[in-house]
């Protein structure tokens, strides 16, 4: 997977591009080359104009920012065409946004079907719902790191700038290189492999061998070659993760998971969690969590900014609580879904809504000042709804 960043200044121009306006059918309906597969805080029912206006609402809160429209294409290898489902694409994009710190802002995710490799376009306002600028500092470096880690997490194919390769054209040495990568990556992800001998045995079963490169005049291993079908590749030609030192370090940290839960190890101890809903845990929080204590998490994304997180051994999963479950008579509000980034949110409290009023010319700042009881996000949603009298769902080519 690779991400290409091309931020710009025109929300309308970017929306027209990703929704292929120039390829609309004669009757004005959209062509079949694209589909909105995810969105947030965007009015879809009014078509391109309303989508653009949803972004402009945020941009207007900080009009001096250069290139306020974020545009990132996420491109997957052609070899992953059958693996990358629409649901996976949405999930990966969500995790990518978290790692790029793109949050609390309207966005759409548009899948394109005009190439032989899966890809999608993320368009968002770089002015978030609080009027703050989403930083683009070091975004190219952060983009590279995010793409590499997600490629590893989902077992996708390495790109090396060849993400547009036609799978039917893979032959000879290049095909062997990808076969080696898949075998090594599978062994890398097998948490039951805790030493190098087992790692080598796993590769051998897949038809991949290992040869050592020694420091001149010594028996010290300096590097690796991977071999298959008479061909030999240095580790860096497969993936820089798969060097000798990296593999040894990775294997030393491996522990087999429990057969019934990815949240605990086979010996019954708890797998550490380092972050939740955009909050990075302190060392003390991690230590408390793995010892079975409930930990308080402040600053969460979602309806509740403060929740409690606790591993529940009876069901072998962590659960989220609205109040401290270690105190008497507390009940959980939700349990973890398969992915941390898609955990079910606690249900909203009763009576959480409020009525709003005001003229159509009222600015967001004026509206927010009249409704101090609303959070910035609630105020922005209500202000948008008041201006348009519409809902944040339905409609445009979903």
What is the rounded CA–CA span in Å between residue 34 and residue 109?
Answer: 10
The per-residue pLDDT for range 196-236, each reduced to its tens digit, is 999 999 999 999 999 999 998 898 998 999 999 999 999 98
Q: Which CATH number fits domain 2-153: 3.90.1150.10, 3.30.930.30, 3.40.50.11540, 3.40.640.10?
A: 3.30.930.30
pLDDT class of 360 with cuts at 50, 70, 90:
low
Cβ atoms < 10 Å from Cβ of 365: 12
Average of per-residue pLDDT values in the chain: 82
What is the rounded CA–CA span in Å between residue 40 and residue 120?
Answer: 16
168's tokens: 């039917």
Domain boundaries, the chain: 2-153, 171-252, 263-342
Can you state the angle between helices 244-252 and 196-205, rounded to 10 degrees? 110
Give yes or no for residue 23 having a pLDDT over 80: yes
pLDDT of 175: 82
pLDDT of 397: 42
Residue with tokens 């999608």: 120
**Which residues neighbour 8 within 8 Å (Cβ) at sequence distance 6 or greater?**
14, 67, 69, 71
More confident residue, 267 or 191: 267
H or E stretch including 109? Answer: strand 107-112
Mean pLDDT for 183-191 is 87
């Amino acid at each position: 997977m690779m991400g290409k960043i091309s931020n710009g200044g025109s929300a309308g121009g970017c929306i027209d591009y990703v929704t292929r306006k120039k390829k609309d059918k004669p009757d004005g309906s959209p062509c079949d080359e694209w589909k909105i597969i995810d969105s947030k805080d965007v009015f879809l029912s009014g078509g391109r104009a309303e989508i653009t206006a949803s972004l402009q609402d945020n941009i207007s809160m900080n009009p001096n920012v250069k290139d306020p429209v974020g545009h990132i294409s996420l491109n997957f290898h052609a070899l992953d065409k059958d693996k990358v489902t629409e649901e996976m694409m949405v999930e990966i994009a969500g995790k990518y946004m978290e790692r790029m710190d793109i949050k609390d802002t309207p966005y759409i995710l548009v899948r394109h079907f005009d190439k032989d490799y899966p890809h999608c376009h993320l368009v968002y306002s770089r002015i978030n719902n609080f009027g703050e600028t989403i930083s683009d500092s070091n975004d190219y470096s952060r983009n590279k790191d995010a793409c590499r880690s997600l490629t590893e997490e989902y077992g996708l194919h390495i790109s090396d700038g060849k993400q547009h390769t036609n799978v039917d054209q893979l032959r000879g040495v290049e095909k062997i290189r990808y076969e080696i990568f898949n075998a090594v990556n599978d062994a890398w992800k097998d948490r039951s492999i805790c030493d190098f001998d087992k790692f080598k045995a796993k590769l051998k079963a897949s038809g991949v061998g290992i040869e050592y490169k020694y420091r001149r005049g010594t028996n010290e291993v300096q590097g690796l070659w991977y071999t298959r079908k008479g061909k030999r590749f240095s580790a860096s030609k497969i993936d820089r993760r798969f060097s000798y030192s990296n593999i040894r370090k990775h294997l030393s940290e491996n522990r087999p998971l429990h057969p019934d839960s990815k949240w605990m190890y086979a010996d019954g101890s708890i797998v550490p969690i380092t972050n939740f809903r955009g909050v990075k845990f302190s060392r003390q929080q991690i230590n408390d969590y793995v010892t079975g204590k409930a930990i308080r998490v402040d600053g969460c994304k979602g309806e509740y900014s403060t929740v409690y997180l606790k591993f529940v051994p009876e069901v072998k999963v962590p659960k989220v609580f609205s109040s401290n479950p270690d105190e008497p008579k507390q009940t959980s509000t939700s349990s973890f879904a398969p992915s941390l980034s898609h955990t079910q949110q606690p249900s909203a409290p009763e009576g959480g809504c409020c009525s709003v009023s005001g003229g159509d010319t009222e600015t967001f700042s004026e509206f927010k000042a009249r409704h101090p009881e609303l959070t910035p996000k609630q105020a922005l949603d209500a202000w948008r709804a008041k201006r348009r009298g519409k809902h944040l769902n339905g409609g445009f080519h979903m």
